[in-house]
Structure 1
């Protein structure tokens, strides 16, 4: 859900709004209580600690690289020709 913010809030509280955008929050900008635009993050950068990733995948089965490549070749079009 987007947070409603006024033009004045955008001007006076831009630091908080920018931090919230960095965290993935969206805003609807209003002028005289009428929505006039939307602020939303373009991308969400998330860094995950490598130890956490290692722990999450600790019990995962090993990947057979050759079988993975064969599966890709069987199901994914590998041609370089442009599509229509």
Structure 2
């Protein structure tokens, strides 16, 4: 799955018209609309700050949920995902 980032304008009648790049194939797509609650202001989603030290990274890592899959299960899932790309 790929994503294209486009700027667009929502008309007063709430319609939206987009022209996609030629490499986008025809067919069903999902559309995600991001908008600000302030008229005319589009904000970027917040991105978490990156740890600056090894201690900050260790603290972040300790807060992550445990993985309940074995390494073999993870490798199998990755192989299944790659096989679905063709």
What is the TM-score of this pair, normalised by structure 1?
0.32
| Structure of higher RCO (CA pairs closer than 8 Å, 6+ residues apart) | 1
Q: Greater helix share, 1 or 2?
A: 1
TM-score, length of structure 2 as denominator length: 0.32
Considering fraction of residues, name the structure with more strand.
Answer: 1
